[in-house]
């Protein structure tokens, strides 16, 4: 692995680069996280590593490996948490199965404190308004901490 302030490479995950946003006037806004992609079960998923320091970002890669290694179970935990949070008191079991099919993890966010946030995409457009998506925060022990809706 090599690293610089702008990018680093991991043998398994590939390249991570410092997140930047180009503003309309040609200005560049530099963010305090690195972005990359990982393929899990045939799907490409964006990865955000929550630090602007490449050395600290590389130190978080074992957390990312853990998430990828248990991805199917964590994705189901996340979709179940969304249904539990926003469903009615008498949610039918098949609603959990439907949500597991419809809500797909689009981004894995790994934070320095060990928290992992799974950002989900509503693939059928029936659960959330366009432009909104659920996010599930998991503790370092991978227990659900919070379910939110982001825009």
Q: Of 141, 144, 148, 104, give the one whose Cα is nearest residue 124.
A: 104
The rounded percent of the chain whose pLDDT value lies above 70 is 98
Q: Are 103 and 121 in contact (CB under 8 A)?
A: yes
pTM for this predicted structure: 0.93
Task: Measure Cα distances from 58 to 15, 103, 131 in Å.
Answer: 11, 29, 31
Give 3-21 pLDDT, tens digit per residue. 678 999 999 899 999 999 9
Rg (CA), the chain: 16
Give 40-72 pLDDT, tens digit per residue. 989 999 999 999 999 999 999 999 999 999 999
């Amino acid at each position: 692995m090599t690293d610089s302030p702008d990018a680093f490479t991991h043998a398994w995950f590939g390249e991570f680069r410092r997140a930047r946003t180009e503003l309309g006037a040609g200005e560049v806004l530099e963010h305090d996280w690195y972005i990359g992609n990982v393929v899990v079960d045939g799907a490409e998923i964006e990865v955000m590593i929550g630090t602007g320091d490449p050395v600290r970002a590389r130190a978080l890669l074992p957390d990312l490996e853990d998430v990828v290694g248990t991805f199917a179970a964590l994705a189901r935990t996340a979709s179940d948490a969304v249904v539990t949070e926003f469903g009615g008191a008498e949610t039918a079991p098949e609603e959990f199965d439907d949500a597991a099919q419809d809500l797909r993890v689009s981004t894995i966010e790994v934070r320095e404190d060990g928290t992992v946030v799974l950002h989900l995409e509503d693939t059928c457009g029936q659960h959330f308004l366009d432009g909104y998506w659920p996010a599930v925060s998991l503790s370092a022990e991978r227990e659900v901490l919070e379910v939110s809706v982001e825009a």
